[in-house]
């Protein structure tokens, strides 16, 4: 049993900070969290003095691409180095991401279930993983690998990352089942192009018909998987929301659709704006990417504001990978710039992010019964959210009650075993 004493508790529920707290960890779970004055513990418990620090839930990124290391085509297609080298590179990113206080990450495509297994077995000191495996789209959609020359990627299919191009309701149901068979925790799909998609398939160009999206959502829910849908604007955005996806990823043009925002609020559909990736795309070397990202910028900020006014729940996701690792907490700075309070931004990366994943009974808040995923921070993120980007301020990270990162003595605890 561990007793974390004296920190100011910011519990991820949105409740006001509680100074001089006691959090009691029994095994891998939180046994109690509250004021020190009303806490009691056995004499044999290990007491950890956190006086002067803030204690927050382990952070959650609801949209990452941990196995992605660049937007350059050769890198994206895995042509530049042996797969083993890339896997080791990815493993290092997992460790660095955890070291920044991110104890849970949902991967929106590219990471196979072997990484989840490696983390669970303790081969890697990484975050808990919820995996989307690969982006499901029709031919010509963003899940269809095609180069500017018109060439497809003819690499042999990887059984750990099944082919995700699907046309027609029958094939869509099959691909959802293939993803689940390969270990998907969530189903990732795309109903529009994006900033970096090929010319001719932009942010408002649709992919999938109404019937196809209904089948995708129905099959995913039948198998107990939430659907995270890349959708920026136009008819594809509408189809995704009407079909009942669980979260809209990017949603840059939602501000133009008050009716859809009302529908999202009513149904509890999450909005993960991933503002950070567009900061990168605005400086892209490709003129069409740069142009799209600059066009949508103002609308995107407005979409976050309108979504909040409409009561839509917002989750923090970075779409990291192509634009670098592990600066996940920069998304919280972007959310604050878009008008959210630091407390709301923190909730978007803790309690609400857990709910977005469907893991709210396990992680995301510091409450009795939750897994003990915690971060002791030196400094006040409610005063300046940017401090979460500074490694030296992420003093201690617990995952499942075990200290995984300890910067009090400037060393990282190796994975268990």
Instruction: Report in angstroms how near the CB of residue 322 gets to Zn ion at its nearest.
Output: 9
The answer to whether the Cα torsion of 55, 58, 64, 65 is positive or negative is positive
Note the Cα 229 to chain centre separation in Å.
13
Query: What is the x/- site pattern for Zn ion, positions 184-223, by CB under 5 A?
Result: ----------------------------------------
Closer by beta carbon to Zn ion, 246 or else 319: 319
Closer by beta carbon to Zn ion, 94 or else 108: 108
Which among 106, 118, 114 is positioned nearest to 158, based on CA atoms? 114
Q: Which of residues 318-337 bind Zn ion (CB under 5 A)?
A: 319
Backbone phi, psi, residue 211, to 5°: -65, -40
Query: What is the x/- site pattern for Zn ion, positions 369-388, by CB under 5 A?
Result: --------------------
Closer by beta carbon to Zn ion, 319 or else 373: 319
Instruction: Report in angstroms how near the CB of residue 279 gets to Zn ion at its nearest.
Output: 14
Order across the sheet with 8-9: list the strands.
8-9, 54-57, 374-377, 394-399, 402-406
Instruction: Report in angstroms how near the CB of residue 42 gets to Zn ion at its nearest.
Output: 46
Q: Which of residues 293-322 bind Zn ion (CB under 5 A)?
A: 319
Closer by beta carbon to Zn ion, 250 or else 404: 250
Instruction: Report in angstroms how near the CB of residue 70 gets to Zn ion at its nearest.
Output: 14
Closer by beta carbon to Zn ion, 61 or else 319: 319
Q: Do the Cβ atoms of 20 and 35 come closer than 8 Å?
A: yes
Q: Which of residues 95-114 bind Zn ion (CB under 5 A)?
A: 108
Closer by beta carbon to Zn ion, 108 or else 366: 108
Question: Which pair of structure tokens corresponds to residue 310?
Answer: 């409409």
Closer by beta carbon to Zn ion, 101 or else 110: 110
- Which helix (H) or strand (E) covers residue 218, if one does? helix 210-222
Question: Alpha-carbon distance 249 to 96, whole Å?
Answer: 24
What does R_g of the chain's alpha carbons equal in angstroms? 21
Size of the site for Zn ion (CB under 5 A): 2
Instruction: Report in angstroms how near the CB of residue 389 gets to Zn ion at its nearest.
Output: 20
Paired sense of beta strands 54-57 and 59-64, if any = unpaired
Question: Alpha-carbon distance 20 to 29, whole Å?
Answer: 21
Question: Alpha-carbon distance 41 to 116, whole Å?
Answer: 34
Instruction: Report in angstroms how near the CB of residue 115 gets to Zn ion at its nearest.
Output: 17
Instruction: Report in angstroms how near the CB of residue 181 gets to Zn ion at its nearest.
Output: 22
* Residues making contact with Zn ion (CB under 5 A): 108, 319
């Amino acid at each position: 049993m561990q007793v974390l004493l004296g920190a100011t508790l910011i519990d991820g529920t949105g409740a006001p900070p509680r100074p001089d707290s006691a959090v009691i960890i029994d095994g891998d779970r939180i046994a109690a969290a509250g004021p020190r004055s009303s806490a009691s513990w056995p004499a044999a418990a290990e007491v950890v003095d956190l006086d002067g620090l803030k204690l927050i839930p382990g952070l959650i990124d609801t949209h990452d691409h941990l196995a992605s290391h660049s937007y350059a085509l050769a890198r994206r297609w895995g042509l530049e180095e042996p797969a083993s080298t890339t896997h080791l590179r990815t493993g290092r990113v997992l460790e660095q991401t955890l070291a920044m206080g991110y104890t849970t990450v949902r991967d929106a495509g590219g990471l196979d279930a072997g990484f989840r297994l490696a983390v669970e077995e303790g081969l890697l000191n990484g975050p808990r993983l919820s995996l989307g495996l690969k982006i499901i789209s029709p031919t010509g959609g963003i899940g269809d690998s095609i180069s500017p020359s018109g060439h497809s990627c003819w690499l042999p299919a990887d059984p750990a990352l099944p082919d995700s191009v699907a046309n027609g309701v029958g094939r869509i149901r099959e691909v959802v089942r293939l993803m689940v068979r390969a270990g998907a925790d969530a189903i990732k799909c795309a109903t529009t192009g994006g900033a970096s998609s090929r010319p001719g398939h932009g942010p408002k160009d649709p992919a999938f018909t109404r019937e196809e999206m209904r089948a995708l959502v129905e099959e995913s829910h039948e198998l107990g998987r939430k659907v995270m849908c890349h959708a920026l604007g136009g008819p594809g955005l509408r189809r995704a929301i009407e079909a009942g996806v669980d979260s809209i990823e990017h949603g840059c043009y939602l501000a133009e659709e008050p009716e859809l925002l009302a529908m999202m609020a009513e149904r509890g559909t999450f909005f993960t704006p991933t503002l950070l990736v567009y900061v990168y795309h605005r400086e892209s070397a490709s003129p069409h990417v740069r142009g799209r990202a600059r066009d949508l910028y103002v609308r995107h900020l407005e979409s976050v504001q309108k979504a909040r006014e409409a009561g839509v729940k917002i989750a923090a996701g970075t779409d990291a990978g192509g634009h670098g690792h592990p600066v996940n907490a920069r998304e919280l700075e972007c959310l604050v710039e878009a008008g959210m309070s630091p407390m709301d931004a923190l909730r978007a990366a803790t309690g609400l992010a857990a709910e977005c994943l469907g893991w709210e009974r396990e992680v995301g808040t510091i409450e009795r019964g939750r897994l003990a995923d915690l971060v002791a921070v030196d400094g006040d993120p409610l005063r300046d959210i940017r401090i979460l980007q500074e490694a030296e301020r992420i003093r201690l990270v617990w995952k499942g009650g075990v200290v995984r990162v300890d910067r009090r003595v400037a060393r990282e605890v190796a994975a268990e075993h």
